[in-house]
């Protein structure tokens, strides 16, 4: 379909990944263990993420650990970047594994081998004219910090993080101009293990612990913004949130109010602090009702106020539908982040509700609230792909999904939203964050690797590869 509605000049088309989900080489180059390295593959993983008491240990006898080898980008990055270039990527969102740079997290000096690896990756990207967009922390906290400091609950972690941030900003100041602080920072409200680096053991962890950890991340975020502007004056640094527009199940005002509250806490709380530079008023009542008393030290609030982020990046996979009183049957039916089934939407095989208009709603809601440029740094369909006898992979369902979302992006741009770019998730198949599966594929590029760890790691272009190439070449005029 062609239309007169346009994407802006210089729109950043690309794709997104995270170190832990594609690099592998988990022991190479002096890398330390990070959280993803101790998360098993398969159904166990989601259970672990959603229940209390995880031990952050590897149990080789019981489980497989798909992130250890992942898709071996660590050795194959040149081949993969060449494929991204062939699609015409203007940018590539990736993360730096904290544990390649500071294997335990609390060392004083960075690990040269880790720094050198990302130098090679950035050089390769620039060789192809691809701009790196780098997430500083994408579910990759050093396990050492989890075990010895209780993750982000400890204020000392702020110091370690700042050291890490300064090391990478200084090293890559000529190579990286777009930075993101914490991936899906608000996801810790639903599952703290990956983002906040601790497992819930009791009520205290759930409320006091979680929000104290957030306070530390907000300080860390401001320190990262400060360091970024000082070290790389021409760079931009953004926050990254998991945004799921929250609908009321019906027009019953009780449900509307309930949806408003749920949406504000989940979607807006973290971004409000990172973008507006202050705690939102609505959270004060929540703190009171849950007996949360933050340890805020002198200077913290000033720092947060002084260093808000430059832009807002977010992931968009689904909307959420809420109702105040849910029946037991309704409880279990929602998305990964909660809510109940929306009768107007279909869901992916993993139960994530597909809602392209929700993306337009998200873009409008976020832009209305903050008036800063937006960047969609994740979106996509996790699906099982079939390789045909002739080797082709005809992922029309993925093309359809992405096209419908792009149509809504174009609408939002017409609505007046300032949109910097779009990097669909898992542009090359990689390990799923929530389930550790390889069979939950998002890529334009197929990787021959399976849930049981087998596979040749060979890369193949899917039908969507050729389609996306055309989209980029026409700057989204031909979808």
| Residue positions annotated with a catalytic role | 378
Q: By rule CB under 6 A, what string of x and - marks binding of each residue 177-196 to ligand BG6? A: ------xx------------
Number of Cβ within 10 Å of residue 64's Cβ equals: 14
Which CB atom, from 94 or from 340, has the smaller least distance to ligand BG6? 94
The window from 119-127, 391-399, 406-414, 434-442 that contacts ligand BG6 (CB under 6 A) reads 434-442
CB of residue 256 to ligand BG6, shortest distance in Å? 27
Virtual CA dihedral for 396, 88, 455, 315, nearest 10 degrees?
-70
Q: Does 315 bind ligand BG6 (CB under 6 A)?
A: yes
User: Out of 205, 378, 385, 429, which residue is the one contacting ligand BG6 (CB under 6 A)?
Assistant: 378
The window from 115-123, 432-440, 444-452, 465-473 that contacts ligand BG6 (CB under 6 A) reads 432-440
CB of residue 187 to ligand BG6, shortest distance in Å? 6
Beta-bridge partner residues of 236: 178
Q: Between vectors from CA 288 to CA 282 and to CA 292, what angle results, nearest 5°?
A: 105
CB of residue 310 to ligand BG6, shortest distance in Å? 20
CB of residue 298 to ligand BG6, shortest distance in Å? 34
For the CA atoms of the chain, what is the radius of gyration?
21
Which CB atom, from 249 or from 425, has the smaller least distance to ligand BG6? 425
The window from 47-55, 78-86, 411-419, 430-438 that contacts ligand BG6 (CB under 6 A) reads 430-438
Q: Does 433 bind ligand BG6 (CB under 6 A)?
A: yes
Q: How far, in Å, CA of 250 to CA of 358, rounded? A: 16
Q: Does 440 bind ligand BG6 (CB under 6 A)?
A: yes
As given in the structure block, the two tokens for residue 179 are 């930075």
The answer to whether 401 and 445 are in contact (CB under 8 A) is no
Which CB atom, from 145 or from 377, has the smaller least distance to ligand BG6? 377
Number of helices (H), then strands (E), belonging to the chain: the values are 18, 14
Q: Does 95 bind ligand BG6 (CB under 6 A)?
A: no
Q: Does 382 bind ligand BG6 (CB under 6 A)?
A: yes
- Phi–psi pair at 155, nearest 5 degrees: -70, -25
Q: Does 73 bind ligand BG6 (CB under 6 A)?
A: no
Task: Give Cα 20 distance to the centre of its chain.
Answer: 12
Collect all residues with Cβ–Cβ distance below 8 Å to 25 and sequence separation of at least 6.
Answer: 31, 72, 74, 75
Which CB atom, from 22 or from 168, has the smaller least distance to ligand BG6? 22
Of the candidates 366, 383, 376, 354, the residue with the CA atom closest to the CA atom of residue 476: 376
User: Out of 7, 14, 18, 179, which residue is the one contacting ligand BG6 (CB under 6 A)?
Assistant: 18
Q: Does 434 bind ligand BG6 (CB under 6 A)?
A: yes
Which CB atom, from 18 or from 167, has the smaller least distance to ligand BG6? 18
Which CB atom, from 440 or from 459, has the smaller least distance to ligand BG6? 440
- DSSP3 helix / strand / coil % (the chain, rounded to 5): 45, 15, 40
The answer to whether 165 and 224 are in contact (CB under 8 A) is yes
Q: Does 313 bind ligand BG6 (CB under 6 A)?
A: no
Q: Give the DSSP H/E element, type plus range, for residue 43.
A: helix 43-50
Which CB atom, from 210 or from 315, has the smaller least distance to ligand BG6? 315
Q: Give the DSSP H/E element, type plus range, for residue 446.
A: strand 445-447
At residue 238, the 3 state secondary structure works out as strand
Task: Name the site residues for ligand BG6 (rule: CB under 6 A).
Answer: 18, 21, 183-184, 315, 378, 382, 425, 432-435, 440
């Amino acid at each position: 379909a062609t239309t007169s509605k346009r994407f802006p000049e210089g729109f950043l088309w690309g794709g997104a990944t995270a170190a832990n989900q594609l690099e592998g080489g988990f022991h190479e180059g002096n890398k330390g263990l990070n959280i993803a390295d101790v998360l098993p593959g398969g159904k166990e993983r989601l259970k672990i993420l959603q229940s209390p008491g995880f031990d952050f240990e590897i149990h080789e006898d019981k489980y497989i650990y798909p992130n250890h080898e992942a898709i071996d980008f660590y050795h194959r990055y040149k081949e993969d970047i060449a494929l991204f270039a062939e699609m015409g990527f203007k940018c590539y969102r990736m993360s730096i594994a904290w544990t390649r740079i500071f294997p335990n997290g609390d060392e004083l000096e960075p690990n040269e081998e880790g720094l050198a690896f990302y130098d090679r990756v950035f050089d390769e990207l620039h060789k192809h004219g691809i701009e790196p967009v780098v997430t500083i922390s994408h579910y990759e906290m050093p396990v050492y910090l989890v075990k010895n400091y209780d993750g982000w609950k400890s204020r000392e972690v702020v110091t370690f993080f700042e050291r890490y941030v300064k090391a990478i900003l200084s090293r890559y100041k000529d190579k990286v101009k777009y930075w993101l602080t914490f991936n899906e920072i608000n996801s810790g409200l639903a599952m703290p293990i990956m983002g906040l680096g601790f497992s819930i053991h009791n009520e205290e962890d759930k409320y006091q612990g979680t929000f104290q950890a957030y306070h530390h991340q907000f300080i860390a975020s401001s320190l990262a913004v400060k360091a970024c502007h000082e070290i790389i004056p021409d760079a931009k640094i953004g926050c990254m949130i998991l945004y799921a527009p929250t609908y009321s199940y019906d027009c019953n005002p009780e449900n509307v109010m309930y949806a408003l509250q749920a949406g504000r806490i989940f979607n807006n709380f973290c971004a409000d602090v990172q973008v507006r530079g202050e705690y939102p008023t609505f959270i004060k009542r929540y703190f009171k009702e849950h007996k949360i008393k933050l340890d805020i030290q002198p200077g913290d609030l000033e720092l947060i106020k002084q260093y808000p982020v430059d832009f807002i990046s977010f992931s968009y996979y689904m909307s959420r539908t809420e109702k105040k009183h849910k029946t037991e049957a309704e409880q279990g039916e929602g998305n990964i982040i909660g809510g109940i089934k929306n009768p107007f939407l279909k869901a992916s095989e993993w139960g994530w509700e597909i809602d392209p208009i929700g993306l337009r709603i998200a873009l409008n809601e976020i832009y209305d609230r903050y008036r800063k440029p937006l960047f969609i740094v994740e979106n996509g369909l996790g699906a099982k792909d079939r390789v045909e006898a002739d080797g082709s992979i005809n992922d029309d369902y993925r093309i359809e999904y992405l096209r419908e979302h792009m149509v809504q992006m174009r609408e939002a741009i017409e609505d007046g939203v300032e949109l910097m770019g779009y990097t669909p998730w898992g542009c090359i198949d990689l390990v799923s964050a929530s389930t550790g599966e390889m069979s939950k594929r998002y890529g334009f590029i197929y990787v021959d690797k399976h849930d049981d760890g087998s596979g040749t790691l060979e890369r193949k272009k899917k039908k969507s590869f050729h389609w996306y190439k055309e989209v980029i070449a026409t700057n989204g005029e031909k979808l």
